[in-house]
């Protein structure tokens, strides 16, 4: 088996591969066309964050069986294209969490004490002591956005420094947060009460542009922002404006919209920022860990048939996966669907398997469901670690099976509960492989599950459908299909739209402003 290492990696990875009889080549800095020309020779590809594994690269990988990402995020890999071609995509979710958390703390210190500016002016022969007055971290409030692997470590370190820690994370229960010494709050409260704000969420559709003019405006004047997650989570133009106006005192940035950023990027050049070139995971220890982890996973894959930390394939044989793949897709998409419509912390997930589906491997389906639920907000969620991550967040899992259903050969019912309420979705398989949603809470409807959808809660009144259609017509956007259901005549109704393309926030706001529309939610599925 031939393995291509396309990014700089610890030598320990090659040692593990060769000692297990696998042939490895190191070819770094390959451009898209160069990688496309040679990828057909290889059975496996190992990358970090620099190499972009695009659909074009994947389509040229005729022998490619597995892609290994030495690190957490897989946003540089077209996972959908790999899945379509039956290629396993693996990551190493634990290897660099400590390094990234420590870097976040380091940037917080640097911003609070103006370390970078002090160093720069000293090297210019200046002694700007009066200009470089800092602030202490002790008894200040740190707001952590996302308390997953990295965010929870940041919170732990901050508490040890005597800081008060609050957090926003819709997938963490209040009891779990309190057990860590963290006070769980809503997003607006975090923004308004935090002296420091540390971002530790993945880059997904719901977090892109999360920090923008509106959310920055809700922050405490003089707050300090730290981003060691992903650049596009923060709107750079809006942040720069807030820094120039003095609303934000300083920003400590390890990640950017474009990496590397242009030399004239005003954020990088500003005296009110501390910038590092994506160093979150750049420690010798972390690089050794992720290199060792991914190399061992590749060896396990080829020598033992073991799939570990896959983001797109369950830990079962491909033969079994093909048999239950329609149910896997149904379970994961129903999980993602109910997660998207839930805006409160989840503390319990109940999954009911009714009819023929109860005779399948429901353990794998539960893993798929949890992956769908947690994967909309947390990074590095896969089939293996989803139950562990749910448990770590204090989420209880309840599974039940039962015999025949009076209407469907198989029915999957997923209910999520929290202190603020619950949501339920039901789905089935039409024919042999077509997943369908058949009920959302108390509303029956029959709808396919496409990549881009829009869910509209509305009152069952004349003109709603026409109003929605007019919004899309005026913007030149096509609606592939529309599905409807209602609780009662004139009561609560649901309009579910299949769309040909993703819609932006402006469309959502316009639909939501229509008469008799209660809420509009964008839903993106696999």
Which of the residues are catalytic?
Answer: 230, 259, 278
Which residue has 């017509």 as its token pair?
473
Report how far residue 523's alpha carbon sits from residue 447's, in angstroms, rounded to the nearest whole number.
13
CB 499, CB 479: distance < 8 Å:
yes
Q: What is the CA radius of gyration of the chain?
A: 24
C-alpha distances out from residue 295 to 96, 131, 493, 498, Å: 15, 50, 52, 41
Lookup: tokens for 116: 């970078």
Residues across the chain: 526
Strand-pairing partners, residue 45, are 4, 67
Environment class of 198 (CB within 10 Å of its CB; exposed 0-12, middle 13-18, buried 19+): buried
Is there a contact between 342 and 423 (Cβ–Cβ < 8 Å)?
Answer: yes
The stretches of 278-429 forming alpha helices (DSSP H) are 284-304, 318-340, 362-374, 386-392
Residue from 157, 95, 106 nearest 285 by CA:
95
Neighbouring C-beta atoms of residue 166, cutoff 10 Å: 19
CA angle at residue 339 from 191 to 486, to 5 degrees?
115
Q: How many Å separate Cα 486 from the centre of its chain?
A: 32
Angstrom distances, CA of residue 330 to CA of 6, 326, 367, 413, 445: 35, 6, 12, 11, 16
Beta-strand pair 479-486/492-499: antiparallel
Q: What is the bridge-based pairing of β-strands 452-459 and 479-486?
A: unpaired
Pairing of strands 66-69, 164-168: unpaired
Question: 3-class SS at 404?
Answer: coil
Region for residue 462 given its phi and psi (left: phi exceeds 0; alpha: psi -120 to 50; beta: otherwise): beta
Distance CA 341, CA 222 (A): 34
CA distance 340 to 334: 10
């Amino acid at each position: 088996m031939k393995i291509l290492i396309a990014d700089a990696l610890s030598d320990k990875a090659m040692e593990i591969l060769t000692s297990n009889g696998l042939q490895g080549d190191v070819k770094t800095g390959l451009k898209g066309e160069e990688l496309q020309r040679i990828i057909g020779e290889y059975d496996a590809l190992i990358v970090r964050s620099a190499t972009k594994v695009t659909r074009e690269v994947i389509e040229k990988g005729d022998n490619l069986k597995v892609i290994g990402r030495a690190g957490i995020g897989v946003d540089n890999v077209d996972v959908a294209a790999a899945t379509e071609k039956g290629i396993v995509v693996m990551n190493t979710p634990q290897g660099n969490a400590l390094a990234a958390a420590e870097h976040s703390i380091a940037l917080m210190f640097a911003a609070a004490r103006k370390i970078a500016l002090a160093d720069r002016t000293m090297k210019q022969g200046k002694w700007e002591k009066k200009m470089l007055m800092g602030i202490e971290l002790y008894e200040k409030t740190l707001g952590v956005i996302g308390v997953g692997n990295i965010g929870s470590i940041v919170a732990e370190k901050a508490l040890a420094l005597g800081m008060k820690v609050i957090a926003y994370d819709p997938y963490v229960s209040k009891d779990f947060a309190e057990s860590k010494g963290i006070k769980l709050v809503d997003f607006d409260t975090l923004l308004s009460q935090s002296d420091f704000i540390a971002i530790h969420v993945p880059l997904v559709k719901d977090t892109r542009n999360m920090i923008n003019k509106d959310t920055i405006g809700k922050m405490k004047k003089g707050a300090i922002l730290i981003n060691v997650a992903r650049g596009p989570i923060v709107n750079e133009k809006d942040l720069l404006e807030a820094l120039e106006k003095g609303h934000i005192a300083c920003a400590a940035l390890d990640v950017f919209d474009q990496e590397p950023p242009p030399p004239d990027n005003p954020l990088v050049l500003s005296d009110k920022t501390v910038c590092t070139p994506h160093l979150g995971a750049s420690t010798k220890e972390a690089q050794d860990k992720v290199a060792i982890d991914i190399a061992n996973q590749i060896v396990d894959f080829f020598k033992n048939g073991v799939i570990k930390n896959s983001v797109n394939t369950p830990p079962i044989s491909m033969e079994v996966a093909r048999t239950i793949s329609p149910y896997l897709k149904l379970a994961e998409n129903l999980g993602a669907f109910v997660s998207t419509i839930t805006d409160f912390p989840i503390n319990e997930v109940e999954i009911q398997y009714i009819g023929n589906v109860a005779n399948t491997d429901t353990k794998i389906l539960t893993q798929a469901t949890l992956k769908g639920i947690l994967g909309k907000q947390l990074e590095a969620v896969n089939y293996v670690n989803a139950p562990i991550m749910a448990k770590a967040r204090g989420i209880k899992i309840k599974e039940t099976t039962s015999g025949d259903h009076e209407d469907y050969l198989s029915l999957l019912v997923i209910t999520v509960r929290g202190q603020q309420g619950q949501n339920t979705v039901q789905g089935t398989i039409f024919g042999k492989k077509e997943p369908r949603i058949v009920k959302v809470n108390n509303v029956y409807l029959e709808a396919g599950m496409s990549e881009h959808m829009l869910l509209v809660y509305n009152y069952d009144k004349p003109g709603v459908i026409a109003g929605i259609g007019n919004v899309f017509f005026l913007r030149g956007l096509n609606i592939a299909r529309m599905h409807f259901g209602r609780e009662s005549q004139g009561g609560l109704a649901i309009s579910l739209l299949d769309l040909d393309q993703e819609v932006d926030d402006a469309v959502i706001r316009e639909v939501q402003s229509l008469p008799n529309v209660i809420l509009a939610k964008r839903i993106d599925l696999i």
